Structure 1
Amino acid sequence: MTKLKTIALATATASLIGMMPLAAHADNGDLAEARQEGSIWTAIALNRHLNPFTIDVDVESGVATLSGEVESDIDRDLAEQVAKGINGVEEVDNQLTVNPDAKRKEQQAGTPTLSQSFNNATTTASIKSKLLWNSNTEGLDIDVSTENGVVTLSGSAQSDEARDLAGMLAKDTDGVHRVNNQIRVDGETSSAAKAQQAADQAGAAISDAWITSKVKSSYLLSSNLSGLDISVDTKDGVVTLGGSVMSGEEKDLAVQTAKNLRGVKGVSAENLRIAN
């Protein structure tokens, strides 16, 4: 990823929460949790007393759950205080166990560096965001993990098509080299999908600003699109694309990506030209 694209992606990601309308609170909550998990992990990784240990972090509904092993009660309490200091964390479920012989990361071969772990977390958050924004995958019960550019998807989907789409969204994410799609197809409708269907049937509105921001962010997260060269405007749910792409394949991908996002009623790409 170029430096310019990295800066643009960071700016777009930072503005997501502020641009979401009330109708998109489900997305807001999931994205906020992903950011809180990343913030806790970063704070632990930067703490010289805690970074030698493998500490897992999970955030749900304002509750941060810590698990793993540390050497002392002092380390355990310190990790809890670090998690409590993250904005949005209301409670900490400290499941860390104390083991004086707890393994330290530097004693284990192949431990990812701080930079690698940050890249893994960023890729995972990007894929989760894309799955939430897509109208065909938003309600799927899918877990995402990343290690050195290899993404593993697990959980369940209602159909082979939904499973394959999740894999395609993950593969078309900047920094992803390979996708291990372990999603099972069980034909059941998840509780998240049922809740979203109920909201859709109730006519929950999705603003044009929300759609525009998600289209732009999806382009920036894509490994096959030059998102900085595509302009996006939305009116009454209809997305108008402008600017330039490098090929007809890129143009088709830009149109299809926009069409699949929640709330999009149509896409006009007459002003999206193919560069010579």
Structure 2
Amino acid sequence: MRNHTAFHRTLLAAGFVAALAAVPFAQAGAQDAYAGSDSSQANQTVPGKVDDAWITTKVKSEFATTKEIPATNISVDTSDGRVRLTGTVANDMQKNRAIEVAHRVKGVKSVDATGLTVTASGESP
């Protein structure tokens, strides 16, 4: 009887392992189906969108914890690992610091700060 119960437990465990092993294949199939659908960003995969959102969040977080950067005056947008900064800063030092901090975030391929302007008065925005 003990061997019979042990056999059933082993069989049940093997069933669970097989079911759990199938999950990644189901996710891959669902992702392929999604990729085949018509969307505005068909070339970008779901993991890529997640990476971009993570990069944007991380850059904003780094700005918020860096004293020299007026984080509330800078907008961050990320696409394919390319960060675009827009907004206003008080001086070139703040602009350069923002670019430097954004570059240090893992996954950032480039930083475009052409939309980040320095206020004419030189005072803090």
Q: Which residue of 1 aligns with 2:111?
A: 179
Counterpart CA distance in 1 for 2:71 and 2:40 is: 38
2:84 to 149, 152, 176: 152
Q: In structure 2, do the counterparts of structure 1 residues 111 and 188 end up closer, same or farther at CA, with 3 Å as the change threshold?
A: farther
CA displacement, residues 45-84 of structure 1 (integer Å, 9 cap, x when unaligned): xxxxxxx8xxxxxxxxxxxxxxxxxxxxxxxxxxxxxxxx
| Alignment pair present for 1:130 and 2:65 | no
Q: Which has the higher contact order (CA 8 A, sep 6+)?
A: 2
Q: If each structure's strand is expressed as a fraction of its own residues, which one has the higher value?
A: 1
Identity %: 24
Following superposition of structure 1 onto structure 2, how do residues 54-93 of structure 1 map, counting pairs within 5 Å? none
State the 4+ residue runs in structure 1 displaced beyond 3 angstroms.
107-111
What letter matches 1:123 in structure 2?
A: I
Counterpart CA distance in 1 for 2:47 and 2:89 is: 32
Counterpart CA distance in 1 for 2:63 and 2:113 is: 14
Counterpart CA distance in 2 for 1:107 and 1:162 is: 38
Q: In structure 2, do the counterparts of structure 1 residues 174 and 109 end up closer, same or farther at CA, with 3 Å as the change threshold?
A: closer
Counterpart CA distance in 2 for 1:161 and 1:139 is: 14
| Alignment pair present for 1:114 and 2:57 | no
Q: In structure 2, do the counterparts of structure 1 residues 121 and 189 end up closer, same or farther at CA, with 3 Å as the change threshold?
A: same
Following superposition of structure 1 onto structure 2, how do residues 244-259 of structure 1 map, counting pairs within 5 Å? none
Q: In structure 2, do the counterparts of structure 1 residues 106 and 167 end up closer, same or farther at CA, with 3 Å as the change threshold?
A: same
Question: Which consecutive residues of structure 2, in runs of 5 or more, have no partner in the other structure?
Answer: 1-33
Counterpart CA distance in 2 for 1:121 and 1:144 is: 10
Question: Which consecutive residues of structure 1, in runs of 5 or more, have no partner in the other structure?
Answer: 1-51, 53-104, 191-276
Q: If each structure's helix is expressed as a fraction of its own residues, which one has the higher value?
A: 2
Matched pairs, number: 88
Q: Shift in Å at residue 106 of structure 1?
A: 1.5
| Secondary structure at the counterpart of residue 152 of structure 1 | strand
Tell me the TM-score normalised to structure 1 length.
Answer: 0.30
2:73 to 132, 141, 157: 141
Q: In structure 2, do the counterparts of structure 1 residues 164 and 152 end up closer, same or farther at CA, with 3 Å as the change threshold?
A: same
What letter matches 1:156 in structure 2?
A: T
CA displacement, residues 183-216 of structure 1 (integer Å, 9 cap, x when unaligned): 10013423xxxxxxxxxxxxxxxxxxxxxxxxxx
